[in-house]
């Protein structure tokens, strides 16, 4: 059950036929946006690093149409070449891009603290 119900008027039929490129569309907010854009008639090319979830989403949405309007492209947004490939794919398919939604997050999992060394203790206790 969704905690937030989107305002359906935001996704009107005026999106019909528009080409949308979206990053991070396999789950969470991105997945919901892909679903809403699809309902509004947009043509969607979305990128994500989760091939399994993204492929399933594209397949599920495309099974509801006579025309394939949802395309998944593997895209790690921390890699420029991946981003370029996503946009080139969209342009090659439709010869234009009308809307871009930068939704993907780049998570860098590092310890926020520097390692502490014995020499640091000596300085701090002086």
pLDDT of 27: 94
CB 93: neighbour CB atoms within 10 A? Answer: 15
CATH class of the structural domain 14-105? alpha beta
Return d(Cα 111, Cα 69) in angstroms, integer.
41
Torsions phi, psi for 47 (to 5 deg): -115, 150
At 63-113, the pLDDT tens digits run: 999 999 999 999 999 999 999 999 999 999 999 999 999 999 866 666 666
* 3-state secondary structure (DSSP) of residue 108: coil
| pTM of the predicted model as reported, rounded to 2 decimal places | 0.76
Average pLDDT of the residues in 52-72: 96
At 2-49, the pLDDT tens digits run: 566 666 665 556 899 999 999 999 999 999 999 999 999 999 999 999
CA distances from 41 to 37, 74, 90, 104 (A): 6, 23, 16, 22
pLDDT of 61: 98
Confidence band of 116 (pLDDT split at 50, 70, 90): confident
pLDDT of 106: 66
Domain ranges of the chain: 14-105
């Amino acid at each position: 059950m969704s905690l937030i119900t989107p305002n359906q008027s935001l996704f009107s039929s005026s999106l019909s036929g528009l080409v949308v490129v979206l990053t991070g569309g396999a789950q969470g907010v991105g997945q919901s946006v892909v679903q809403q854009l699809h309902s509004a008639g947009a043509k969607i090319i979305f990128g994500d690093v989760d091939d399994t979830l993204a492929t399933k989403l594209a397949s599920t949405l495309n099974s509801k149409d006579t025309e394939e309007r949802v395309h998944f492209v593997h895209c790690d947004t921390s890699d420029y070449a991946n981003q370029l490939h996503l946009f080139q794919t969209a342009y090659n398919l439709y010869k234009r891009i009308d809307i871009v939604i930068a939704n993907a997050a780049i998570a860098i999992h590092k310890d926020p603290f520097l390692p502490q060394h014995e020499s640091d203790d000596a300085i701090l206790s002086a």
